[in-house]
Structure 1
Amino acid sequence: MTDLPTQADPPPTEPEAPTSASFPFFHSVFRFIRMRVVQGLFLALPVAITFWILHWLYRMLRDVLIDPMAVVVRWLSLQIWYDPTKLDQAAEQAAELPAWFDYYAAPLIALVFILGLLYFFGMFFQSRLHRLLDWILLRVPVVTHIYSAVRKVFVALQEQQTNSSRFQRVVLVTFPHTGMKAPGFVTSTCRDRLTGKKILCVYVPTTPVPTSGYMLLVPEEEVSDLSWDLNETLQAIVSGGISVPKDVDYYGTEAEARLAQTDVRSPPGPEAR
Protein backbone atom coordinates (compact mmCIF):
# COMPACT_ATOMS: atom_id res chain seq x y z
CA MET A 1 0.00 0.00 0.00
CA THR A 2 1.61 3.26 -1.09
CA ASP A 3 1.45 6.37 1.01
CA LEU A 4 -0.59 9.19 -0.48
CA PRO A 5 1.27 12.48 -0.87
CA THR A 6 0.31 14.95 1.82
CA GLN A 7 -0.30 18.63 1.07
CA ALA A 8 2.52 20.83 2.29
CA ASP A 9 1.66 23.19 5.08
CA PRO A 10 1.55 26.85 3.99
CA PRO A 11 4.49 28.92 5.17
CA PRO A 12 3.82 31.03 8.21
CA THR A 13 2.79 34.57 7.38
CA GLU A 14 4.28 37.53 9.16
CA PRO A 15 1.85 39.78 10.99
CA GLU A 16 1.03 42.94 9.05
CA ALA A 17 2.41 46.15 10.38
CA PRO A 18 -0.25 48.46 11.76
CA THR A 19 -1.12 51.32 9.44
CA SER A 20 -2.97 54.56 9.87
CA ALA A 21 -6.10 52.87 8.50
CA SER A 22 -6.01 50.51 11.49
CA PHE A 23 -6.46 53.42 13.89
CA PRO A 24 -8.74 55.94 12.14
CA PHE A 25 -9.45 57.87 15.33
CA PHE A 26 -5.79 58.48 16.19
CA HIS A 27 -5.03 59.28 12.55
CA SER A 28 -7.78 61.91 12.49
CA VAL A 29 -6.55 63.39 15.76
CA PHE A 30 -2.98 63.51 14.44
CA ARG A 31 -4.07 65.22 11.21
CA PHE A 32 -6.15 67.76 13.17
CA ILE A 33 -3.25 68.57 15.51
CA ARG A 34 -0.83 68.86 12.58
CA MET A 35 -3.20 71.21 10.75
CA ARG A 36 -3.57 73.40 13.85
CA VAL A 37 0.19 73.53 14.37
CA VAL A 38 0.77 74.57 10.74
CA GLN A 39 -1.96 77.21 11.01
CA GLY A 40 -0.39 78.50 14.22
CA LEU A 41 2.95 78.66 12.45
CA PHE A 42 1.46 80.68 9.60
CA LEU A 43 -0.08 83.06 12.15
CA ALA A 44 2.97 83.43 14.40
CA LEU A 45 5.74 83.67 11.79
CA PRO A 46 4.61 86.93 10.09
CA VAL A 47 4.15 88.59 13.50
CA ALA A 48 7.50 87.32 14.81
CA ILE A 49 9.37 88.30 11.63
CA THR A 50 7.76 91.76 11.67
CA PHE A 51 8.81 92.46 15.26
CA TRP A 52 12.26 90.98 14.61
CA ILE A 53 12.76 93.36 11.69
CA LEU A 54 11.56 96.31 13.80
CA HIS A 55 13.92 95.30 16.61
CA TRP A 56 16.79 94.95 14.14
CA LEU A 57 16.06 98.39 12.69
CA TYR A 58 15.98 99.95 16.14
CA ARG A 59 19.26 98.32 17.15
CA MET A 60 20.88 99.45 13.92
CA LEU A 61 19.63 103.02 14.37
CA ARG A 62 20.72 102.95 17.99
CA ASP A 63 24.27 101.87 17.14
CA VAL A 64 24.68 104.02 14.02
CA LEU A 65 22.73 107.15 14.87
CA ILE A 66 21.34 107.38 18.39
CA ASP A 67 24.53 106.69 20.35
CA PRO A 68 26.71 109.07 18.26
CA MET A 69 24.04 111.75 18.57
CA ALA A 70 23.95 111.18 22.33
CA VAL A 71 27.68 111.89 22.46
CA VAL A 72 27.17 115.10 20.48
CA VAL A 73 24.30 116.21 22.72
CA ARG A 74 26.40 115.44 25.80
CA TRP A 75 29.24 117.53 24.42
CA LEU A 76 26.90 120.43 23.60
CA SER A 77 25.35 120.27 27.05
CA LEU A 78 28.81 120.48 28.60
CA GLN A 79 29.63 123.52 26.46
CA ILE A 80 26.40 125.29 27.39
CA TRP A 81 25.78 124.40 31.02
CA TYR A 82 29.28 124.01 32.52
CA ASP A 83 32.17 126.33 33.08
CA PRO A 84 34.68 125.94 30.22
CA THR A 85 37.52 125.91 32.75
CA LYS A 86 36.02 122.85 34.46
CA LEU A 87 35.04 120.77 31.45
CA ASP A 88 37.18 117.79 32.49
CA GLN A 89 35.49 117.55 35.86
CA ALA A 90 32.04 118.06 34.33
CA ALA A 91 32.71 115.42 31.68
CA GLU A 92 33.50 112.89 34.39
CA GLN A 93 30.25 113.73 36.20
CA ALA A 94 28.19 113.55 32.99
CA ALA A 95 29.91 110.50 31.54
CA GLU A 96 26.68 108.54 31.78
CA LEU A 97 23.49 110.13 30.56
CA PRO A 98 20.34 109.72 32.64
CA ALA A 99 17.98 106.89 31.80
CA TRP A 100 15.24 109.23 30.59
CA PHE A 101 17.56 110.58 27.91
CA ASP A 102 18.66 107.13 26.79
CA TYR A 103 15.14 105.78 26.46
CA TYR A 104 13.07 108.83 25.50
CA ALA A 105 15.03 111.89 24.39
CA ALA A 106 17.64 110.17 22.23
CA PRO A 107 15.14 108.17 20.12
CA LEU A 108 12.99 111.29 19.70
CA ILE A 109 15.95 113.38 18.60
CA ALA A 110 17.06 110.64 16.22
CA LEU A 111 13.54 110.38 14.75
CA VAL A 112 13.35 114.11 14.16
CA PHE A 113 16.80 114.06 12.57
CA ILE A 114 15.87 111.14 10.28
CA LEU A 115 12.61 112.79 9.19
CA GLY A 116 14.47 116.01 8.44
CA LEU A 117 17.12 114.10 6.49
CA LEU A 118 14.48 112.22 4.48
CA TYR A 119 12.67 115.50 3.78
CA PHE A 120 15.94 116.91 2.46
CA PHE A 121 16.48 113.85 0.26
CA GLY A 122 12.90 114.12 -1.00
CA MET A 123 13.75 117.48 -2.52
CA PHE A 124 16.00 115.63 -4.99
CA PHE A 125 13.53 112.82 -5.82
CA GLN A 126 13.39 112.20 -9.59
CA SER A 127 15.75 115.10 -10.16
CA ARG A 128 18.90 115.16 -12.27
CA LEU A 129 20.92 114.17 -9.23
CA HIS A 130 18.62 111.19 -8.62
CA ARG A 131 18.86 110.05 -12.22
CA LEU A 132 22.64 110.46 -12.14
CA LEU A 133 22.83 108.33 -8.98
CA ASP A 134 20.71 105.63 -10.62
CA TRP A 135 22.83 105.74 -13.75
CA ILE A 136 26.04 105.26 -11.75
CA LEU A 137 24.80 102.50 -9.42
CA LEU A 138 23.14 100.56 -12.25
CA ARG A 139 26.47 100.34 -14.09
CA VAL A 140 28.82 99.35 -11.30
CA PRO A 141 29.61 95.61 -11.37
CA VAL A 142 28.12 93.56 -8.48
CA VAL A 143 26.49 96.69 -7.06
CA THR A 144 24.09 96.88 -9.98
CA HIS A 145 22.44 93.53 -9.13
CA ILE A 146 21.84 94.47 -5.48
CA TYR A 147 20.73 98.03 -6.20
CA SER A 148 18.47 96.96 -9.07
CA ALA A 149 16.66 94.37 -6.91
CA VAL A 150 16.18 96.77 -3.99
CA ARG A 151 15.12 99.57 -6.32
CA LYS A 152 12.45 97.38 -7.93
CA VAL A 153 10.96 96.59 -4.52
CA PHE A 154 10.61 100.26 -3.62
CA VAL A 155 9.33 101.12 -7.08
CA ALA A 156 6.63 98.47 -6.59
CA LEU A 157 5.69 99.99 -3.23
CA GLN A 158 5.53 103.43 -4.79
CA GLU A 159 3.42 102.13 -7.67
CA GLN A 160 0.99 100.51 -5.22
CA GLN A 161 0.55 103.82 -3.39
CA THR A 162 -0.07 105.85 -6.54
CA ASN A 163 -2.04 103.30 -8.56
CA SER A 164 -5.30 104.15 -6.78
CA SER A 165 -5.25 107.62 -8.36
CA ARG A 166 -3.97 106.54 -11.80
CA PHE A 167 -6.04 103.42 -12.37
CA GLN A 168 -9.55 104.42 -13.34
CA ARG A 169 -11.26 101.00 -13.48
CA VAL A 170 -10.56 97.35 -12.80
CA VAL A 171 -11.71 95.25 -15.77
CA LEU A 172 -11.50 91.79 -17.27
CA VAL A 173 -10.02 91.63 -20.75
CA THR A 174 -9.68 88.71 -23.14
CA PHE A 175 -6.01 87.78 -22.87
CA PRO A 176 -3.86 86.11 -24.17
CA HIS A 177 -6.44 84.48 -26.46
CA THR A 178 -10.17 83.81 -26.75
CA GLY A 179 -11.54 81.70 -23.93
CA MET A 180 -9.29 83.20 -21.26
CA LYS A 181 -9.55 86.48 -19.38
CA ALA A 182 -7.09 88.42 -17.28
CA PRO A 183 -7.62 91.27 -14.81
CA GLY A 184 -6.36 94.64 -15.94
CA PHE A 185 -6.41 98.30 -14.98
CA VAL A 186 -7.72 101.08 -17.19
CA THR A 187 -5.07 103.79 -17.17
CA SER A 188 -6.41 106.15 -19.85
CA THR A 189 -8.75 106.38 -22.83
CA CYS A 190 -8.54 107.48 -26.46
CA ARG A 191 -10.72 107.37 -29.57
CA ASP A 192 -10.37 105.58 -32.88
CA ARG A 193 -9.92 108.07 -35.71
CA LEU A 194 -12.12 106.23 -38.26
CA THR A 195 -15.00 104.91 -36.17
CA GLY A 196 -14.92 107.29 -33.19
CA LYS A 197 -15.14 104.33 -30.81
CA LYS A 198 -13.78 104.71 -27.32
CA ILE A 199 -10.54 102.76 -26.87
CA LEU A 200 -9.30 101.87 -23.41
CA CYS A 201 -5.63 101.66 -22.48
CA VAL A 202 -5.55 98.58 -20.24
CA TYR A 203 -2.53 97.58 -18.23
CA VAL A 204 -2.42 93.80 -17.58
CA PRO A 205 0.13 93.04 -14.82
CA THR A 206 2.00 89.76 -14.56
CA THR A 207 2.36 87.39 -11.61
CA PRO A 208 4.00 87.69 -9.11
CA VAL A 209 5.58 91.09 -9.90
CA PRO A 210 2.78 93.46 -10.95
CA THR A 211 5.22 96.19 -11.97
CA SER A 212 5.83 94.32 -15.25
CA GLY A 213 3.03 93.54 -17.67
CA TYR A 214 1.37 94.41 -20.97
CA MET A 215 -0.33 97.54 -22.25
CA LEU A 216 -3.35 96.69 -24.43
CA LEU A 217 -5.59 98.86 -26.56
CA VAL A 218 -9.09 97.39 -26.25
CA PRO A 219 -12.50 98.72 -27.39
CA GLU A 220 -14.64 99.59 -24.40
CA GLU A 221 -17.41 97.17 -25.37
CA GLU A 222 -14.97 94.25 -25.29
CA VAL A 223 -14.10 94.59 -21.59
CA SER A 224 -16.22 93.87 -18.55
CA ASP A 225 -16.00 95.58 -15.18
CA LEU A 226 -14.56 93.47 -12.38
CA SER A 227 -16.23 93.54 -8.97
CA TRP A 228 -12.87 93.43 -7.17
CA ASP A 229 -11.30 96.60 -5.89
CA LEU A 230 -7.68 97.61 -6.50
CA ASN A 231 -6.22 95.94 -3.41
CA GLU A 232 -8.09 92.67 -3.97
CA THR A 233 -6.92 92.54 -7.57
CA LEU A 234 -3.29 93.22 -6.64
CA GLN A 235 -3.39 90.56 -3.91
CA ALA A 236 -4.77 88.04 -6.37
CA ILE A 237 -2.04 88.85 -8.90
CA VAL A 238 0.85 88.82 -6.43
CA SER A 239 -0.32 85.57 -4.77
CA GLY A 240 -0.79 83.83 -8.11
CA GLY A 241 -4.51 83.33 -7.49
CA ILE A 242 -4.14 81.93 -3.96
CA SER A 243 -5.77 84.95 -2.34
CA VAL A 244 -8.86 85.85 -4.37
CA PRO A 245 -12.38 86.94 -3.42
CA LYS A 246 -15.04 84.24 -3.43
CA ASP A 247 -17.08 85.79 -6.23
CA VAL A 248 -16.07 87.20 -9.60
CA ASP A 249 -18.02 88.73 -12.48
CA TYR A 250 -16.40 86.62 -15.18
CA TYR A 251 -19.26 86.94 -17.67
CA GLY A 252 -19.82 90.55 -18.52
CA THR A 253 -23.48 90.24 -19.54
CA GLU A 254 -26.42 88.05 -18.61
CA ALA A 255 -26.53 86.75 -22.18
CA GLU A 256 -22.98 85.41 -21.87
CA ALA A 257 -23.83 83.79 -18.53
CA ARG A 258 -26.96 82.11 -19.97
CA LEU A 259 -24.97 80.91 -22.97
CA ALA A 260 -22.31 79.42 -20.68
CA GLN A 261 -24.98 77.64 -18.61
CA THR A 262 -26.56 76.28 -21.79
CA ASP A 263 -23.20 74.90 -22.97
CA VAL A 264 -22.68 73.16 -19.63
CA ARG A 265 -26.17 71.62 -19.43
CA SER A 266 -26.51 70.55 -23.07
CA PRO A 267 -25.86 66.79 -23.61
CA PRO A 268 -22.95 65.80 -25.82
CA GLY A 269 -23.69 65.18 -29.50
CA PRO A 270 -23.37 61.82 -31.27
CA GLU A 271 -19.86 62.61 -32.37
CA ALA A 272 -18.75 63.12 -28.74
CA ARG A 273 -20.15 59.74 -27.57
Structure 2
Amino acid sequence: MKKYFIAGILVWAPLSITIWVIAWGLGLLDGVFGSVMRAIITVFPRQFAGDLQHFRELPGVGILIVIGVIMATGLLAISFAGQWWIRMWNKQINRIPIVRSIYSSVQQVSSTLFSGSGQAFSKALLIRYPHADSWVIAFQTGTPAKEVTAKLGEDYVNVFLPTTPNPTSGFFMIVPRAQTIELEMSVEEALKHIVSMGSVPPNSSSGITATQLPHHF
Protein backbone atom coordinates (compact mmCIF):
# COMPACT_ATOMS: atom_id res chain seq x y z
CA MET A 1 0.00 0.00 0.00
CA LYS A 2 2.82 2.39 0.82
CA LYS A 3 4.45 1.68 -2.55
CA TYR A 4 1.22 2.41 -4.45
CA PHE A 5 0.56 5.58 -2.47
CA ILE A 6 4.00 7.08 -3.15
CA ALA A 7 3.78 6.08 -6.82
CA GLY A 8 0.47 7.92 -7.04
CA ILE A 9 1.97 11.03 -5.42
CA LEU A 10 4.80 11.03 -7.97
CA VAL A 11 2.22 11.08 -10.75
CA TRP A 12 -0.26 13.58 -9.32
CA ALA A 13 2.02 16.09 -7.53
CA PRO A 14 3.55 17.71 -10.69
CA LEU A 15 0.15 17.82 -12.41
CA SER A 16 -1.61 19.32 -9.38
CA ILE A 17 1.02 22.00 -8.83
CA THR A 18 1.03 22.90 -12.54
CA ILE A 19 -2.76 23.26 -12.56
CA TRP A 20 -2.63 25.33 -9.37
CA VAL A 21 -0.07 27.75 -10.83
CA ILE A 22 -2.04 28.14 -14.08
CA ALA A 23 -5.31 28.63 -12.17
CA TRP A 24 -3.65 31.28 -9.98
CA GLY A 25 -2.40 33.19 -13.03
CA LEU A 26 -5.75 33.00 -14.81
CA GLY A 27 -7.53 34.09 -11.63
CA LEU A 28 -5.23 37.10 -11.40
CA LEU A 29 -6.06 38.09 -14.97
CA ASP A 30 -9.77 37.62 -14.32
CA GLY A 31 -9.49 39.78 -11.20
CA VAL A 32 -7.91 42.60 -13.22
CA PHE A 33 -10.72 42.40 -15.75
CA GLY A 34 -13.33 42.33 -12.97
CA SER A 35 -12.00 45.56 -11.47
CA VAL A 36 -12.10 47.29 -14.86
CA MET A 37 -15.61 46.01 -15.54
CA ARG A 38 -16.89 47.23 -12.17
CA ALA A 39 -15.54 50.69 -12.93
CA ILE A 40 -17.21 50.65 -16.37
CA ILE A 41 -20.56 49.42 -14.98
CA THR A 42 -20.73 52.37 -12.58
CA VAL A 43 -20.40 54.78 -15.50
CA PHE A 44 -23.08 53.27 -17.75
CA PRO A 45 -26.81 53.91 -17.19
CA ARG A 46 -28.76 51.38 -15.13
CA GLN A 47 -30.51 49.82 -18.14
CA PHE A 48 -27.13 48.74 -19.52
CA ALA A 49 -25.48 47.96 -16.17
CA GLY A 50 -27.43 44.72 -15.73
CA ASP A 51 -26.42 43.38 -19.15
CA LEU A 52 -22.79 44.26 -18.50
CA GLN A 53 -22.92 42.51 -15.12
CA HIS A 54 -24.26 39.31 -16.73
CA PHE A 55 -21.51 39.57 -19.35
CA ARG A 56 -18.94 39.96 -16.60
CA GLU A 57 -20.15 36.78 -14.86
CA LEU A 58 -19.64 34.57 -17.93
CA PRO A 59 -16.81 32.11 -17.10
CA GLY A 60 -13.59 32.72 -19.00
CA VAL A 61 -14.70 35.96 -20.65
CA GLY A 62 -12.48 38.11 -18.45
CA ILE A 63 -9.40 36.06 -19.20
CA LEU A 64 -10.02 36.10 -22.96
CA ILE A 65 -10.58 39.87 -23.01
CA VAL A 66 -7.48 40.60 -20.91
CA ILE A 67 -5.34 38.42 -23.19
CA GLY A 68 -6.87 40.14 -26.23
CA VAL A 69 -6.16 43.59 -24.79
CA ILE A 70 -2.52 42.61 -24.07
CA MET A 71 -2.08 41.28 -27.62
CA ALA A 72 -3.69 44.37 -29.15
CA THR A 73 -1.50 46.63 -27.02
CA GLY A 74 1.61 44.79 -28.14
CA LEU A 75 0.56 45.06 -31.78
CA LEU A 76 -0.03 48.78 -31.35
CA ALA A 77 3.22 49.29 -29.42
CA ILE A 78 5.42 48.02 -32.26
CA SER A 79 3.84 50.37 -34.79
CA PHE A 80 5.12 53.89 -35.46
CA ALA A 81 1.96 55.57 -34.14
CA GLY A 82 1.94 53.32 -31.08
CA GLN A 83 5.51 54.23 -30.18
CA TRP A 84 4.57 57.92 -30.35
CA TRP A 85 1.65 57.36 -27.97
CA ILE A 86 3.87 55.40 -25.59
CA ARG A 87 6.37 58.26 -25.51
CA MET A 88 3.56 60.71 -24.73
CA TRP A 89 2.21 58.40 -22.04
CA ASN A 90 5.63 58.03 -20.40
CA LYS A 91 6.10 61.79 -20.48
CA GLN A 92 2.81 62.34 -18.63
CA ILE A 93 3.52 59.60 -16.07
CA ASN A 94 6.97 61.06 -15.35
CA ARG A 95 5.32 64.31 -14.27
CA ILE A 96 3.51 62.66 -11.34
CA PRO A 97 5.55 62.51 -8.11
CA ILE A 98 6.03 59.09 -6.46
CA VAL A 99 4.20 57.38 -9.34
CA ARG A 100 7.05 58.19 -11.72
CA SER A 101 9.59 56.54 -9.41
CA ILE A 102 7.62 53.29 -9.17
CA TYR A 103 6.63 53.28 -12.85
CA SER A 104 10.11 53.97 -14.18
CA SER A 105 11.70 51.34 -11.93
CA VAL A 106 9.24 48.63 -12.96
CA GLN A 107 9.57 49.66 -16.61
CA GLN A 108 13.36 49.37 -16.55
CA VAL A 109 13.29 45.99 -14.78
CA SER A 110 10.69 44.52 -17.16
CA SER A 111 12.52 45.86 -20.21
CA THR A 112 15.77 44.29 -19.00
CA LEU A 113 14.23 40.92 -18.15
CA PHE A 114 12.20 40.50 -21.33
CA SER A 115 14.74 41.96 -23.72
CA GLY A 116 16.80 39.40 -25.57
CA SER A 117 19.77 41.75 -25.65
CA GLY A 118 19.79 42.39 -21.89
CA GLN A 119 22.27 40.99 -19.40
CA ALA A 120 19.69 39.76 -16.90
CA PHE A 121 20.08 36.07 -16.07
CA SER A 122 22.58 35.66 -18.88
CA LYS A 123 24.80 33.12 -17.10
CA ALA A 124 24.70 30.60 -14.29
CA LEU A 125 27.61 31.02 -11.86
CA LEU A 126 29.05 29.36 -8.79
CA ILE A 127 29.78 31.75 -5.93
CA ARG A 128 30.92 31.23 -2.35
CA TYR A 129 28.01 31.59 0.12
CA PRO A 130 27.42 31.81 3.07
CA HIS A 131 31.08 31.12 3.86
CA ALA A 132 34.29 30.44 1.96
CA ASP A 133 33.95 26.64 2.14
CA SER A 134 30.52 26.33 0.47
CA TRP A 135 29.24 27.12 -3.01
CA VAL A 136 25.83 28.07 -4.40
CA ILE A 137 24.41 28.59 -7.89
CA ALA A 138 23.57 32.19 -8.76
CA PHE A 139 22.70 34.10 -11.93
CA GLN A 140 24.64 36.98 -13.41
CA THR A 141 22.37 39.99 -13.82
CA GLY A 142 24.79 42.61 -15.11
CA THR A 143 27.64 44.83 -13.98
CA PRO A 144 27.70 47.24 -11.02
CA ALA A 145 26.90 50.92 -11.36
CA LYS A 146 29.74 53.27 -12.29
CA GLU A 147 29.90 54.70 -8.77
CA VAL A 148 30.13 51.22 -7.24
CA THR A 149 32.83 50.21 -9.72
CA ALA A 150 34.82 53.36 -9.00
CA LYS A 151 34.71 52.81 -5.24
CA LEU A 152 35.48 49.08 -5.35
CA GLY A 153 38.28 49.46 -7.87
CA GLU A 154 38.11 45.86 -9.12
CA ASP A 155 36.20 43.76 -11.61
CA TYR A 156 32.87 42.90 -9.99
CA VAL A 157 29.59 41.45 -11.27
CA ASN A 158 25.98 41.69 -10.12
CA VAL A 159 24.40 38.35 -9.23
CA PHE A 160 21.02 37.17 -8.02
CA LEU A 161 21.06 34.31 -5.52
CA PRO A 162 17.62 32.59 -5.54
CA THR A 163 16.23 30.72 -2.57
CA THR A 164 14.95 27.13 -2.60
CA PRO A 165 12.33 25.92 -3.39
CA ASN A 166 10.87 29.37 -4.18
CA PRO A 167 13.28 31.02 -6.65
CA THR A 168 11.26 34.24 -6.89
CA SER A 169 12.87 35.46 -3.66
CA GLY A 170 16.56 35.73 -3.00
CA PHE A 171 19.49 38.09 -2.57
CA PHE A 172 21.12 40.68 -4.80
CA MET A 173 24.90 40.55 -4.38
CA ILE A 174 27.97 42.22 -5.88
CA VAL A 175 30.87 39.79 -5.98
CA PRO A 176 34.37 39.82 -7.53
CA ARG A 177 34.39 38.23 -10.96
CA ALA A 178 37.57 36.35 -10.07
CA GLN A 179 35.71 34.56 -7.25
CA THR A 180 32.98 33.22 -9.54
CA ILE A 181 32.98 30.08 -11.67
CA GLU A 182 30.94 30.17 -14.87
CA LEU A 183 28.87 27.04 -15.47
CA GLU A 184 28.22 25.43 -18.84
CA MET A 185 24.63 24.53 -17.92
CA SER A 186 21.89 26.82 -19.23
CA VAL A 187 19.98 29.20 -16.98
CA GLU A 188 16.87 27.01 -17.31
CA GLU A 189 18.78 23.89 -16.26
CA ALA A 190 20.34 25.71 -13.31
CA LEU A 191 16.91 26.98 -12.23
CA LYS A 192 15.45 23.46 -12.31
CA HIS A 193 18.42 22.24 -10.27
CA ILE A 194 17.81 24.94 -7.66
CA VAL A 195 14.04 24.46 -7.43
CA SER A 196 14.49 20.71 -6.98
CA MET A 197 16.94 21.38 -4.13
CA GLY A 198 19.64 19.60 -6.10
CA SER A 199 17.68 16.40 -6.66
CA VAL A 200 17.20 16.97 -10.43
CA PRO A 201 20.59 17.04 -12.21
CA PRO A 202 21.14 19.26 -15.29
CA ASN A 203 20.36 17.80 -18.73
CA SER A 204 17.85 15.36 -17.21
CA SER A 205 14.50 14.86 -18.90
CA SER A 206 11.42 16.27 -17.23
CA GLY A 207 8.71 14.10 -15.74
CA ILE A 208 8.98 10.66 -14.16
CA THR A 209 9.68 7.36 -15.77
CA ALA A 210 9.00 3.80 -14.75
CA THR A 211 12.46 3.53 -13.21
CA GLN A 212 11.69 6.46 -10.88
CA LEU A 213 8.64 4.76 -9.38
CA PRO A 214 9.27 2.94 -6.12
CA HIS A 215 9.50 -0.85 -6.52
CA HIS A 216 9.79 -2.05 -2.95
CA PHE A 217 10.25 -0.79 0.61
User: Whose Rg is larger?
Assistant: 1
TM-score by length of 2: 0.45
Greater relative contact order structure (CA < 8 Å, 6+ sep): 2
